[in-house]
Amino acid sequence: MPTIWTDLKELQAAFITREIERTGDFFQSVTNHEHVDDALKALDNNRRIASEYPGFTEDMKLCMARQVHGSQVRYTDKAGIAGDADGLVTDKPNLALGVLVADCAALLIADPANKVVAAVHAGWRGAVAGIIPEAVRQMEKIGAEPDLIRTYISPCISREAFEVGEEVACRFPDKFVDRTRSKPHVDLRGFVLHQLRKTGIPESSVARDDSCTVRNTTLHSHRRDGNKSGRMLAVICLSSK
């Protein structure tokens, strides 16, 4: 897919669907805090790949976190690995925020008027733990206004493919759980959109890609491919202009 919000000169954003691995290695352990070396390799490769997209520059600085499927959102003002977190927020220009996904939803959130952006990794654990309203709260702390926010929801696992046990299904409101089959199926994308609405972000300001990562073989899917799955990069950066 490439770039998102091409009408906004205040920022650059992209969801990069091709494989991130330039060295021939899969970075399937990049979300595990015990594999810092993998995260650093992915960071360098992602920086180079993102710089190939319109609006991004070769010397772009990129910040990522060690994703732990939680609800912590960190403010950052410098490049590198920001520590354990699943959401990053900044108001610094030329600092790109990146998250990696392969079935979970990536959210890119921007208030272009107040120049505040966030990148969020929203798997089911983080979503039910409240990472989305937490990201918006952290953005508001540095000047963002919910009614001016625009959001992009990446491809993620669909309700049809997201079969779960009752121990997972019971964590979601009933309207996002289909119990008409032999096992429950959860609508992660619908729940993410629901949480965005509750924060005060207008639905008209939410762009989304409804592709299913499991069923669309051009996308990475951990559920489909297991530990051999790669990762997709969502990245957002405020312009210095």
Range of the domain at 139: 3-157+208-238
pTM of the prediction? 0.89
Domains identified in the chain, total number: 1
Torsion of CA 111, 55, 193, 142, to 10 degrees: -30
pLDDT of residue 175: 97
Task: Establish if 194 belongs to a structural domain.
Answer: no
User: Each residue of 86-121: b (16+ CB within 10 Å) or e?
Assistant: bbbbbbbeebbbbbbbbbbbbbbbbbbebbbbbbbb
Helix/strand/coil (H/E/C) assignment for every residue in 134-174: HHHHHHHHCCCCHHHCEEEECCECCCCCCECCHHHHCCCCH
* Domain-located, residue 86: yes
Residue 196 lies in a domain: no
Is residue 195 included in any domain, yes or no? no
| Chain segment 98-113, per-residue pLDDT in tens | 898 989 999 999 999 9
pLDDT range class, residue 1, cuts 50, 70, 90 = very low
Q: How confident is the model over 210-233, as pLDDT tens digits?
A: 999 999 988 989 999 887 787 888
In order, the DSSP letters of 82-143 are: EEE-SEEEE--BTEEEEEEESSSEEEEEEETTTTEEEEEEE-HHHHHHTHHHHHHHHHHHTT
In-domain check, residue 165: no
The CATH number given to whatever domain includes residue 66 is 3.60.140.10
Q: Are strands 95-101 and 61-66 parallel, antiparallel or unpaired?
A: parallel
pLDDT in tens, 4-50: 888 888 898 988 875 554 444 444 444 444 445 555 566 666 666 66
What does the pLDDT average to over 186-208? Answer: 95
| 185: enclosing H helix or E strand | strand 185-186
Is residue 11 in a domain? Answer: yes
Q: Is residue 14 part of a domain?
A: yes
Inside any domain, residue 153: yes
